[in-house]
Amino acid sequence: MTDPILVAKEVVKSFGGIRAVDGCSLQVFPSTITALIGPNGAGKTTFLNIVAGLYGADSGEIWFDRVRIDGLPAHAVVRGGLIKTFQIPRELRNFTVLQNLMVAAPPGPGDRFIDLFVRPFAIRRAEEEVVEAAEAVLAQVGLTAMRDEYAKNLSGGQKKLLELARALMARPRLVLLDEPVAGVNLTLQKQILQVMEGLRARGTTFFLVEHDMDVVMKNSDWIIVMHQGRTLAEGRADEVKANPAVIDSYLGG
């Protein structure tokens, strides 16, 4: 029995008077595509933001691969191997697609100011490697043709792909995806899911929030249902589909 890669214990977050996340505890296991589903207002996106370090939890613990990450700022969480995409893509508009990916590369020489004047040759070599890696990821998601386009000129679906590609550049072990296929046409959807499946087979874990039940049921290894700020049920697709509490609160009968 493998250890979970992500463990949340009794996470609580309130905004004003509203408890968006109300004592949520869950586990995500490595090399899986795990889905987090639930009705609007269930607290899913808030929970993802807390795990990623973009919000601070009011209380509770979050463990990533046996390292406690709640309270860490987002950039530190990313450096630990956990990255999140945005529901509405946050592309760097005046950067090219390639540059967008290069920004996401793991830290190397040249990220620290001192290195700029002490190790210029190492930086040049590292830059070439980063460009190569970025081009590889572009090929993976099928955006090679847009390499030198400004990100603001991309279509909505392409921005979604870019969002995913950027996350992959950081060579994460766990990727949090906030509605990765929302508003995306079927071909692109298939492409995205293919990429995810390929990476899952090689050890990356995906934890996604998604509303498209078709996509969720067909592609997830495990589904966690969230309702009113805490977990309601979890299991494989067929189990969850048949769970009466889940049907009641979310899937409709």
Rounded Cα–Cα distance for residues 51 and 43 (Å): 12
- CA 75 – CA 66 distance, rounded (Å): 18
22 within 8 A of 230, measured Cβ to Cβ: yes
The label of the residue with tokens 């630990």 reads 80
Query: 46, 55 in Cβ contact below 8 A?
Result: yes
Min CB(227)–other proteins separation in Å? 13
Q: Which two tokens stand for residue 194?
A: 């293919």
DSSP labels for 180-234?
TTTT--HHHHHHHHHHHHHHHHTT-EEEEE---HHHHHHH-SEEEEEETTEEEEE
Q: Which is nearer to other proteins, 124 or 236 (CB)?
A: 124
Among positions 90, 221, 237, 251, the unique one binding other proteins when judged by CB under 8 A: 90
Binding mask 111-130 toward other proteins (x if CB under 8 A, else -) reads xxx-xx---x--x--xx--x
Residue from the set 9, 99, 235, 241 that interacts with other proteins by CB under 8 A: 99
**Residue number with CB closer to other proteins (120 or 198):** 120
Identify which range of 22-30, 84-92, 197-205, 241-249 contacts other proteins by CB under 8 A: 84-92
> Minimum Å distance from CB 118 to other proteins?
12
Residues that bind other proteins (CB under 8 A): 15, 20, 40-46, 49, 52, 54, 58-59, 73-76, 78-79, 83-84, 86-88, 90-96, 98-99, 102-113, 115-116, 120, 123, 126-127, 130-132, 135, 148, 150, 166, 170, 209
